[in-house]
Every structure is written in C-alpha cells, then in structure tokens.
Chain A
Amino acid sequence: MEHHYYNPEDLKKFGSIAEWEGNLAKKFFDWYGDVFKEGDLTAREKSLIALAVAHTVQCPYCIDAYTQDSLEKGATEKAMMEAIHVAAAIRGGASLVHGVMMMNKAKKLSM
C-alpha cells in the first residue's frame, strides 16, 4: 500500500478498472456517458448535481473532476457553492428529520 490512500494521478487511471472485468466496465462507462448527456436536464445542471453528490459521498476524485467539469460547462462559482449547500442541507436535514423518530420513541417510553 502507498503512504496515502488517495493519489490525484489515480483519477486518470479510472478506465483501467476494465483490466479485470471488461464487460461490466464497458457497461458502466457507456451508461455513465449517457447519463451525463443533455436530456430534460442540461449538461450543466447534471454537472452541478454531480458536484453536490461528490461532496455528499466525499469522493476527492469526483470533487476534482466535477469542479473542473462545472467550470467547463459554464457554471458560476456561486452556482457551484449553492449546489454544495443543497447537498449539505439534505445531509443536515436528513439527520434532523430523524429527530421526529427520536421524539416519537421518547414520547412513547415516557410518562
């Protein structure tokens, strides 16, 4: 093992996952390519969603890739930060909304 878990150079080698399982890799990369094509959502909107999800899953490779991709697609820095706030709000909200579950349980248990 290297002295660190993440290496920026590894992002460029993403395609090499096909070496050990070509068929599934091909299916994944073909599907991946189609996912990011313009549909009802623009390519820029999809890139911003990817950027937000990248922060949610806290993947450094994805953050690197979709910061660049968002800039290339013409997103403003403000839009990029707004997207991350959406991710953060959902993460924070997801914890807080479970507070209702806690309250339900506590109320049931309590006199």
Chain B
Amino acid sequence: MIKSLHARHHQLADQQRQREILENGIFREGRLPKFERKIAEAGHPALMPGELEIVQVNVGYMCNQVCKHCHVDAGPDRQEIMSRETMELCLNALAKNKIRTLDITGGAPEMNPHFRWFVEEAHRIGVSEIIVRSNLTIIVANPRYHDLPAFFKKHGVRVCSSLPFYNAGKTDRQRGEGVFADSIRALNMLNDVGYGRPGSGLVLDLVYNPVGAFLPGDQRQLERDFKLELKSHFDIDFNNLFTITNIPISRFLDFLLESGNYDDYMEKLVNAFNPAAVPGVMCRNTISIDWLGNLYDCDFNQMLGLGIDARVKGHVRDFDSVELKSRKITVSQHCFACTAGAGSSCQGATA
C-alpha cells in the first residue's frame, strides 16, 4: 500500500504549495483564464450562496485505503480525527439552523470512534437526511464493521459509495489491489439488508469518477451501464450513479504533474466550462466542516486550506446560516472541475 503524501513529506502535502501551483503556471502566464474571470464573464461577479441545505462534516482523514486520486490524501497513516465535543457542536448547529441534510465524509468516516454515536444523535434530533460516504471496503475490513449495513438501516442512513468502474482492472488501479472484490462483497451485504433493492426505501448511491486525466461521460448512460453490468455479474442493485470530475488537488494533482497531464487537463476543464453548471455548484447549498470544526465552502477548499470568507465567523461553534448566506464563496482554479461539461458535485452532474 502506498503512503499518503503527508507521510512521505511530499511537497503537495503542503496546502500552500498546492495553492501556488493552481495560481501560477499556465494561469499566471495568461494562457488560460482564471476561474474568477470566467464566472464574471458568465454573469457572476462573485459566487454567492443560495439556500443552505447540506452540512458536510469531514470526521477525519484516516482511511483503510490509499486511493491514487484522493483529494483528502487520506490513509491509515493520517491521525486527524474529529472529537466528540466538535461533533456535539455540529449537532447543535444542525438543530439550531434547521439543516435538512447531514453529509458525513472522511477518510473512512466509520473509523472515527465516535462515528456511530454521531449518526445516532443526528437521527435522534430529527435531521431529515443523513448521508454516509462509505468507501465500501471498510465494511469487510474487520469483523467489527460487518454490522454497518444493519446500523445504517436502523438509522435511515443514505449510503453513498465510490466505485469508479464495474470491473476489477480499473477499480483496483485507482483504489488499490483487491478493492473491487471487497467492494462487491460489501455491496452484496448492503443489498442483503435491503439497500438499493426496489421498494425497500433504503437508498444506495454509487459515485463514479474517471480513472485518469479525462472527464466523466454522460451520467445517465454510465448509470445504465453500471446497473446492467453489476446486476448481470453480481446481482447488485443500487439507486443512482453520480458522476464526479476529478479535482486537480492533492494526490490527483500529483498524478497530473507526474504523468505530464496537468496543463492539458486544466485546459480541458477550462474549455469545457459550462455557464449553465454555475448555479448548481455545491458550494452554493453546502457548508463543509473539518475535523477541528472550521468551516469551508467545500471539502476541496478544506483540503487546500482555502478558508471561508473572513467577514463571517468561521467555526462551527458560531454557525449561523443567515450570516453564512452573506459570504462570498472562495474560489481558485480547481473550481473549473465543478463547472466542466455537465457539472460536478457530491450529488453528481449539476447541469
């Protein structure tokens, strides 16, 4: 298993270095326009939020996998884990601000020792929708996780899982040797308790992202292919397939630079800029919270250390959805990934 950039003391483990790369090079030379200019031309002098619907809480960067494209740089060697006290602050913020959706991510969020308590409490206080972004393999990684499908079911969790392809070759190249086989086992276990099965009311969504420096294809057609292949080979059912464009930060940025694809990929994102995708970008209806309780416009900005507008209070203890609505969303060149083609978000295509 490869180590995280963090453990290797890689230059891209430094958020400042990543931000410099995104601000300089082809963008500084003027060969490509910056994101701010591009959205201004599309009629958005600043990117402003709409109604806040989702709070995405990153409960820690620890993970049992080390995927080659991971924007979090997650892995077993990461020690950043959200405390129970910070989770309590998140729950207070959800209740006080009447947030509809809690979206729990990581790392592998299930590895946080307070994860189950957090889900139980969110369910108890009546959060309408609880999404857990599960990497699937955690369910079969250790016997103590085998009951996760039943736990998710008990608390009405919507499960959202990454599966970049419906065969082992591409999946394992991105996510590690044996990941596809383990993912299939975990999907079977989720199906066994009803997830994804027609009429069960238990929602299981899959997330597709390209295994390389290219854009995702049409979400509807890929969903059709995935359903056909997974059903016929493994009797797996799921609800929706969400296509996500790889964001040029962290380990995917490392891949782009090492493989000599960076300039071409950024050009591709810029050329595929779709003004119709701008209103649906997820930073307009989501707030991201890191393991220390700091607020960000999205999980990607969190990983780049791009803080929320300094004019609003930036910690979950002061979470105020009314004040947050006045903020200006922080952008950089990685944002082109969310506006390329059919658009991209944690809920899939946006245009």
Q: Is the CB of A72 within 8 A of B221?
A: no
Q: Is the CB of A43 within 8 A of B169?
A: no
Hey, which chain B residues are within 8 Å of A76, CB to CB? Answer: 167, 169-170
Bound Cα distance A53, B94 (Å) = 56
Given contacts A68-B214, A72-B215, is CB(A43)–CB(B170) below 8 Å? no
| Tally of B interface residues using CB under 8 Å | 15
Partner of A72, one of B167, B170, B214: B214
Hey, which chain A residues are within 8 Å of B271, CB to CB? Answer: 12
Q: Is the CB of A77 within 8 A of B169?
A: yes
Residues 206-251 of B at the A interface (beta carbon under 8 Å): 210, 212, 214-218, 221-222, 225
Bound Cα distance A40, B130 (Å) = 40
Bound Cα distance A76, B164 (Å) = 12
Q: Is the CB of B212 within 8 A of A73?
A: no
A33-62 near B? 1/0 per residue, CB < 8 Å? 000001000111000000000000000000
Bound Cα distance A12, B212 (Å) = 20
B181-199 near A? 1/0 per residue, CB < 8 Å? 0000000000000000000
Q: Is the CB of B210 within 8 A of A72?
A: yes
Bound Cα distance A46, B167 (Å) = 21
Nearest CB in chain B to that of A8: its residue: B264
A92 within 8 A of B: no
**In whole Å, how far is B269's beta carbon from the nearest beta carbon of chain A?**
13
Bound Cα distance A76, B225 (Å) = 12
**In whole Å, how far is A35's beta carbon from the nearest beta carbon of chain B?**
16
Which has the most chain B C-beta neighbours within 10 Å: A43, A68, A77?
A: A68
A71 within 8 A of B: yes
**In whole Å, how far is B166's beta carbon from the nearest beta carbon of chain A?**
9
Bound Cα distance A76, B212 (Å) = 13
Hey, which chain A residues are within 8 Å of B215, CB to CB? Answer: 72
Given contacts A71-B210, A71-B212, A72-B214, is CB(A44)–CB(B170) below 8 Å? no
Hey, which chain B residues are within 8 Å of A44, CB to CB? Answer: 217, 221, 225
Bound Cα distance A44, B212 (Å) = 18
Hey, which chain A residues are within 8 Å of B225, CB to CB? Answer: 44, 74
Interface residues on A, range: 10 to 19
Nearest CB in chain A to that of B222: its residue: A74
**In whole Å, how far is A92's beta carbon from the nearest beta carbon of chain B?**
28
Bound Cα distance A38, B217 (Å) = 13
Hey, which chain A residues are within 8 Å of B222, CB to CB? Answer: 74
Q: Is the CB of B221 within 8 A of A38?
A: yes
Bound Cα distance A73, B217 (Å) = 5
Q: Is the CB of B221 within 8 A of A43?
A: yes
Bound Cα distance A44, B216 (Å) = 12
Hey, which chain B residues are within 8 Å of A38, CB to CB? Answer: 221
Partner of B217, one of A12, A74, A77: A74
**In whole Å, how far is A76's beta carbon from the nearest beta carbon of chain B?**
7
**In whole Å, how far is A41's beta carbon from the nearest beta carbon of chain B?**
12
**In whole Å, how far is B326's beta carbon from the nearest beta carbon of chain A?**
39
Hey, which chain B residues are within 8 Å of A71, CB to CB? Answer: 210, 212, 214
Which has the most chain A C-beta neighbours within 10 Å: B169, B217, B221?
A: B217
Bound Cα distance A74, B215 (Å) = 10
**In whole Å, how far is A79's beta carbon from the nearest beta carbon of chain B?**
11
Bound Cα distance A34, B123 (Å) = 49
Bound Cα distance A74, B271 (Å) = 21
Hey, which chain B residues are within 8 Å of A42, CB to CB? Answer: 221
Bound Cα distance A72, B214 (Å) = 6
Bound Cα distance A12, B165 (Å) = 29
Bound Cα distance A42, B214 (Å) = 20
Hey, which chain A residues are within 8 Å of B210, CB to CB? Answer: 71-72
Bound Cα distance A74, B243 (Å) = 11
**In whole Å, how far is A23's beta carbon from the nearest beta carbon of chain B?**
25
Bound Cα distance A42, B271 (Å) = 25
Q: B residues within 8 Å of A by Cβ?
A: 165, 167, 169-170, 210, 212, 214-218, 221-222, 225, 271
6 contacts between A and B (CB under 8 A): A43-B217, A71-B212, A72-B210, A72-B216, A72-B217, A74-B222
* 16 extra A-B contacts, CB within 8 A, seeds A44-B221, A74-B221, A76-B169: A12-B271, A38-B221, A43-B217, A43-B221, A44-B217, A44-B225, A71-B210, A71-B212, A72-B210, A72-B215, A72-B217, A73-B217, A73-B218, A73-B221, A74-B217, A74-B225
